[in-house]
């Protein structure tokens, strides 16, 4: 009997992660994934000429988050430079809130 020559140990070339060089700046291990997503959103807002964003609280968010929502909207530029609160960043590290474009 002839053994079928099955090569199952193909080299795994795809490690699943392909970083966009544009966003690599936000891929620091110190920054939670949630914050990275929020920052990416901010960059998209910036590209779409959206100047301001509003904080959108998650259903179970903290008092600090509710305050952040109340105090908005914020400047997209300030969010990107760390001057305005961003979900997942700093004091909101464990936060699951999101952001949305603000009109006007």
Closest to Zn ion by CB, 7 or 60: 60
Three-state DSSP at 68 gives helix
Q: H helices of the chain, where?
A: 33-47, 63-71, 76-80
CB 69 within 8 A of CB 55: yes
C-alpha dihedral sign at 52, 50, 27, 82: negative
43 or 96: CB nearest Zn ion: 96
CB of residue 47 vs Zn ion: minimum separation in angstroms?
Answer: 25
Residue number, 65 or 76, with CB nearest to Zn ion: 65
Which residues face 53 on adjacent strands?
A: 74, 101
In the complex, minimum distance from the CB of residue 18 to Zn ion, in angstroms, rounded to a whole number: 29
| Closest to Zn ion by CB, 39 or 65 | 65
- Positions in the binding site for Zn ion (CB under 5 A): 61, 65, 95, 97
Q: Tell me the closest approach of the beta carbon of residue 68 to Zn ion, in angstroms.
A: 7
* Nearest-angstrom CA–CA distance, 61 and 79: 19
Beta carbon of residue 69, minimum distance to Zn ion (angstroms, whole number): 8
């Amino acid at each position: 009997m002839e053994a079928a020559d099955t090569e199952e140990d193909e080299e795994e070339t795809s490690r699943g992660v392909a970083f966009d060089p544009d966003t690599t700046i936000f891929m620091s291990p110190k920054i939670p994934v949630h914050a990275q997503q929020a920052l990416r959103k901010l960059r998209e807002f910036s590209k779409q000429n959206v100047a301001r964003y509003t904080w959108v609280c998650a259903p179970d968010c903290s008092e600090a988050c509710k305050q952040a929502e109340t105090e908005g909207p914020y400047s997209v530029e300030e969010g990107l430079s760390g001057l305005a609160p961003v979900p997942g960043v700093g004091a909101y590290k464990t936060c699951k809130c999101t952001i949305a474009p603000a009109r006007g």
